[in-house]
Structure formats: C-alpha cells, structure tokens
Amino acid sequence: MYFAALLARTEDGWEASDTELDDVETLSDLADLAREASPDEDTVLVLIEQEDSWFGVVRIDGEEDPRIYVSDAAAAARSSYGEILLTDELLGRDSDADDDLDALDLDGTEDGEDGSDEDEGSAADAVPHGPVGDPGILDDLGVGVKELKSLSADALTEIAEALGASEVLETVR
C-alpha cells in the first residue's frame, strides 16, 4: 500500500488533495500534476509513503526543477512509485555512461565475477541504502535536515504537523 498527497501552499494556508499515481510515469509527469494543483505557482509538495518502508517528498516551486528527498533509496527502488523519484541525476549516475557500460557487460568483472547472474540485481545494487536527494528541501518551511533524516514511521504526519498542515492532510488520508 502507498499513500500520496499533494500539499499546495496558498494565501489561506495549506490545501491538501490525495492523488493517484497510476498514470504518472516520470518525474516530469509528477511535476506537471503538482503544478496543476497550484495555478498561482505557489509551493506544492508531493508526499509519498509506502507502508512505512520509505517516504519521499517532491517540492515544486513554480516552474523551477523539482527538488526531491527520498528516505531510503534501496526500499524505494523496489517500488514503481519510488522509481519515478529515483532519477539518474538524483542517484549521481550519468545515464549515457551507464548505457555504454551495460552494453559492455562489465558489471562485477573487476572483482573476478563473470557478471552472468548480475543482470537483475545490478541496478538495485547501485542504489544506496538510506536517504538520497536534498535533505534541506523543507528547511524554510520548518523541517530541518536533522529532523527530516530522523523521520521514519508516520513521517508524512510529522512533516504535516511541522508545516501546520496536519488537519488538511488527515482529511485526505
């Protein structure tokens, strides 16, 4: 199970709406969905949580590039919704270089392994355990880096409380 919600900051405070991510295939699709929630180009947060195993925050400020924080990249990589957030850029990969190396099948050979059984696990192995992205994503909204990194179970509720948006988030839960 996963939960996803949009929190849009307006003149009157935060407005929440739940959202289905079934039609979202890329980070660009997700950013477009978030921008639709705030016609005035205010800050919009996309909050995603999957069964207390990981959570993600995507921040959209007008037409700027999305900022992303994922609490556990390895756990998120096992989720189709997490894969949307875990872009090559976020993971520090050069997608063109990865394609070239995959074509050469060099993964693991430097350790004396033949790499023949590595195809399925190699992408997941390259994803770090733990947080990735911008830990300062919510600094100006009252959730500091240390606080964000220390969140685990029920993280979205704690973020919403810090933002003063817990009541509106609970209405869409």
Give per-residue pLDDT as tens, 138-169: 999 999 999 999 997 789 999 999 999 999 99
- In this structure, the chain runs to a length of 173
| pLDDT average, residue stretch 76-102 | 78
Q: Is the whole model's pTM more than 0.75, yes or no? A: yes
Cβ pair 51, 21 in contact under 8 A: no
Q: Give the Å distances, CA to CA, from 64 to 14, 42, 58, 106, 162.
A: 20, 11, 12, 37, 24
Tell me phi and psi for residue 48, to 5 degrees: -130, 135
| 125-135 per-position pLDDT tens digit | 478 889 999 99
Q: pLDDT at residue 105 above 60?
A: no
Q: pLDDT at residue 27 above 80?
A: yes
